[in-house]
């Protein structure tokens, strides 16, 4: 079987149309059709994107199925490992991945934003974290301000149901409409400190008068790595 045939087989296995897989790969439907016909060969950026959607890229390229696409995931708070996989399965909750951190957005809702891929977590694992499967989203980290907690290009699982900053931690928030990922510390008098874990960045104080420009979107619970 040719690699183009294996690509089509993976698309059918995931019950995706050509248009849906093209969106995951950030290409046109015409390009997707040309990949499946063997007329053109896909580029690395395309393969990386569809891997996030659950496509077994190793099988597409070599004909050898991956034993199980693995994901490196750890709790943000203490680095404890968390089970996760790119492929769907029984007892697994699907979490959408959005590349939106640092972009202007319309508040806490991510609906309408482009989905870059999906990842799956055991529902029992999310429950143990105190996270509702219906109220989570994966967000891509941009920049190095949160090194070494979160690196540029990481994905982080955000609990959109946890917005209480009295429980200090790392949060996804908006400041004047711009999404950011920062460690948030509440100060006396109602002010906030937005802290970058990279020591080369200075903390930013949000005064009580500026609090109207801040919206807490959710607590960052799990750092998600890449397929290994």
- The token duo for 105 is 């957005």
3-state secondary structure 131-168: CCHHHEEEEECCCCCCCCCCCCCCEEEEECCCCCCCCC
Alpha-carbon span 148 to 59, nearest angstrom: 33
pTM above 0.85, yes or no: no
Pairing of strands 136-140, 92-98: parallel
For residue 87, what pLDDT is reported?
A: 66
* pLDDT tens sequence across 133-180: 889 999 988 889 999 899 888 889 999 999 999 888 999 999 988 889
CA distances to 12, 74, 185, 201 from 137, in Å: 26, 15, 23, 26
Contact call for residues 63 and 76 (beta carbons, < 8 A): no
The CATH number corresponding to 71-227 among 3.40.50.11310, 3.40.50.300, 3.30.70.20, 2.10.109.10 equals 2.10.109.10
Alpha-carbon span 202 to 197, nearest angstrom: 9
Q: Report the CATH fold assignment for 3-62.
A: 434 Repressor (Amino-terminal Domain) (1.10.260)
The CATH 1.10.260.40 domain(s) of the chain lie at 3-62
The CATH 2.10.109.10 domain(s) of the chain lie at 71-227
* pLDDT tens sequence across 64-106: 766 555 577 899 998 888 888 766 677 888 898 887 765 544 4
């Amino acid at each position: 079987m040719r690699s183009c045939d294996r690509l089509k087989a993976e698309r059918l296995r995931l019950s995706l149309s050509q248009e849906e897989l093209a969106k995951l790969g950030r290409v046109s439907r015409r390009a997707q059709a040309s990949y499946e016909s063997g007329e053109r060969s896909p580029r690395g950026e395309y393969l990386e994107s569809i891997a996030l959607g659950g496509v077994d890229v190793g099988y597409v390229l070599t004909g050898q199925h991956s034993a199980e696409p693995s994901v490196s995931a750890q709790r943000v708070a203490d680095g404890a490992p968390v089970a996760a996989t790119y492929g769907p399965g029984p007892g697994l909750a699907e979490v959408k991945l959005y590349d939106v951190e640092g972009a202007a957005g319309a508040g806490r809702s991510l609906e309408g934003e482009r989905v870059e891929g999906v990842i799956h977590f055991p529902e029992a694992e999310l429950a143990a974290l105190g996270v509702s499967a219906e109220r989570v989203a994966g967000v891509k980290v941009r920049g190095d301000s949160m090194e070494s907690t979160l690196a540029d290009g990481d994905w982080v699982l955000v609990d959109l149901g946890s917005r209480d900053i009295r429980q200090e931690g790392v949060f996804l928030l908006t400041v004047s409409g711009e999404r950011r990922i920062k460690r948030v510390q509440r100060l006396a008098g109602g002010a906030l400190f937005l802290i970058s874990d990279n020591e080369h960045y200075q903390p930013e104080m949000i005064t009580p008068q500026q609090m109207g420009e801040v919206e807490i979107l959710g607590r960052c619970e799990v750092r998600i790595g890449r397929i290994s």
